[in-house]
């Protein structure tokens, strides 16, 4: 049997069984390391308490919450498993599986229903020199925040996340490292923003952009998604995304995410045109080796061709305590506001223009992360 397949089977077993060392041979951990295959994952659960009388959080055209929708509730967010073989030369692959409530949002965005299990990513990779090509299903380039909760600095996601940005794509993406300063991206995906698994038209979406890294402390990414959604197709979509981060000091990071998302009908057809634009800023600070904090401030505006408009903002303060390298306990306070009454407030149609909540989250990580 091919050694790579043996390694894949061993990696899956290593996640379920403790490493066994015997005089007769290497441990399962040694097998994984020597094969070049990585296996990792995490378990993520939270509790959110809202101060409105509603049972859900968020609302409106651009005030919806992505994953943390439930109020006054414990939530099993994600149990994730990542298995990858991604060599710097030749063929490889990566699979990312997620179970839990967050999978419903991922599948809903992708057009796969509301199952609590999601194949979030599954792609092959070919690398040669400075060129890397992936094909299959993979996460978007846009946005500062990601699906993987271990890589975010806050418990809740920003309003830009999913309201303005896609989550995953199906297609082919090429990246080329021109130098240590510039990496370029070019890809073709099924749909513009929805990421639909079933491609409903012959048109595809162009994905293009670049990552600028003038130093180890500074990175700037600019990405454009342009294409069509719908069966006719009757709706054109353009998303321009800017993401920047600056590691000012070892303990201090500043970050910015800016989006402009426009959907408009083609030849007078399709749904009413919608524009969403906004910006989110982050201040991330490490107080102690085991204690970090993050402050996020955000503004997002939505308007459509019917004359409806909505201005939303949110401020979030999060503390992250890590008593061990593989365990994080986070606490958060968040306040949202809108120019319209969009937030549920009790039974019936009662809505408010403000919303606030607190949350706690526990994340346990295992293995060696690889892939997006």
Residue 31 shares a structural domain with residue 50 = no
Least trusted range by pLDDT, from 7-11, 19-23, 41-45, 307-311 = 7-11
- Please indicate, yes or no, if residue 288 is contained in any of the structural domains: yes
Residue 24 shares a structural domain with residue 134 = no
Residue 51 shares a structural domain with residue 177 = yes
Mean pLDDT over each residue of the chain, to the nearest integer: 87
Residue 238 shares a structural domain with residue 149 = yes
DSSP reduced 3-state for 33 = helix
Nearest to 262 by CA among 230, 318, 305, 209: 305
The Cα 58–Cα 54 span in angstroms is 10
What pTM does this model have? 0.87
- Please indicate, yes or no, if residue 222 is contained in any of the structural domains: yes
- Please indicate, yes or no, if residue 295 is contained in any of the structural domains: yes
- Please indicate, yes or no, if residue 265 is contained in any of the structural domains: yes
- Please indicate, yes or no, if residue 305 is contained in any of the structural domains: yes
pLDDT in tens, 78-109: 999 999 999 999 999 999 999 999 999 888 77
Residue 133 shares a structural domain with residue 160 = yes
Residue 95 shares a structural domain with residue 7 = no
The Cα 167–Cα 169 span in angstroms is 7
Q: Is 176 exposed, middle or buried (0-12, 13-18, 19+ CB in 10 A)?
A: middle
**Residue 110: φ, ψ to 5°:** -90, -5
- Please indicate, yes or no, if residue 250 is contained in any of the structural domains: yes
The range of the structural domain enclosing residue 294 comes to: 42-367
Strand ranges (E), the chain: 38-50, 58-59, 63-64, 73-85, 90-99, 117-128, 131-139, 168-177, 182-189, 205-215, 218-229, 235-247, 252-265, 274-288, 291-304, 309-324, 327-338, 343-344, 351-352, 354-367
Q: CATH number of the domain at 173, please.
A: 2.40.160.10
Q: What is the pLDDT of residue 271?
A: 56
Domain count, the chain: 2
Residue 27 shares a structural domain with residue 114 = no
Q: What is the pLDDT of residue 27?
A: 64
- Please indicate, yes or no, if residue 372 is contained in any of the structural domains: no
Residue 214 shares a structural domain with residue 333 = yes
Q: What is the pLDDT of residue 4?
A: 40
Residue 25 shares a structural domain with residue 131 = no
Residue 251 shares a structural domain with residue 272 = yes
Residue 49 shares a structural domain with residue 31 = no
- Please indicate, yes or no, if residue 201 is contained in any of the structural domains: yes
């Amino acid at each position: 049997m091919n050694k790579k397949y043996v390694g894949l089977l061993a990696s899956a077993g290593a996640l379920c069984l403790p490493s066994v060392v015997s005089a007769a041979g290497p441990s399962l951990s040694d097998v994984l390391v020597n094969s070049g295959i990585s296996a990792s994952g995490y378990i993520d659960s939270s509790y959110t308490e809202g101060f409105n009388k509603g049972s859900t959080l968020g609302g409106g055209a651009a005030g919806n919450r992505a994953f943390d929708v439930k109020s006054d509730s414990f939530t099993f967010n994600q149990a994730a498993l990542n298995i990858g073989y991604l060599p710097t030369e030749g063929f490889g692959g990566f699979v990312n599986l997620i179970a839990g409530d967050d999978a419903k949002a991922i599948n809903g965005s992708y057009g796969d229903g509301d199952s609590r299990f999601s194949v979030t990513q599954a792609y092959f990779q070919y690398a040669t020199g400075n060129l890397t090509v992936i094909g299959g299903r993979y996460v978007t380039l846009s946005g500062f925040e990601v699906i993987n909760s271990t890589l975010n600095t806050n418990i809740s996601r920003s309003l830009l996340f999913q309201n303005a940005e896609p989550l995953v794509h199906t297609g082919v993406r090429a990246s080329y490292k021109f130098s240590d300063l510039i990496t370029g991206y070019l890809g073709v995906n099924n749909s513009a923003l929805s990421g639909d698994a079933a491609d409903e038209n012959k048109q595809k979406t162009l994905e293009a952009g670049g990552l600028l890294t003038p130093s180890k402390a500074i990175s700037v990414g600019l990405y454009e998604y342009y294409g069509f959604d719908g069966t006719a197709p009757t709706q054109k979509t353009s998303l321009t995304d800017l993401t920047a981060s600056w590691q000012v000091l070892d303990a201090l990071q500043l970050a910015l995410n800016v989006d402009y998302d426009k959907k408009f009908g083609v030849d007078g057809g399709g749904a009413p045109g919608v524009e969403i634009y906004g910006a989110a800023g982050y201040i991330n600070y490490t107080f102690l080796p085991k204690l970090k904090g993050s402050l996020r401030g955000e503004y997002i505006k939505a308007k459509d061709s019917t004359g409806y408009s909505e201005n939303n903002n949110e401020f979030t303060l999060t503390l992250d305590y890590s008593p061990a390298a593989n365990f994080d306990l986070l606490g958060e306070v968040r306040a949202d506001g809108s120019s319209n009454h969009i937030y549920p407030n009790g039974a019936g149609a009662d809505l408010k223009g403000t919303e606030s909540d607190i949350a706690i989250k526990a994340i346990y990580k295992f293995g060696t992360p690889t892939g997006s």
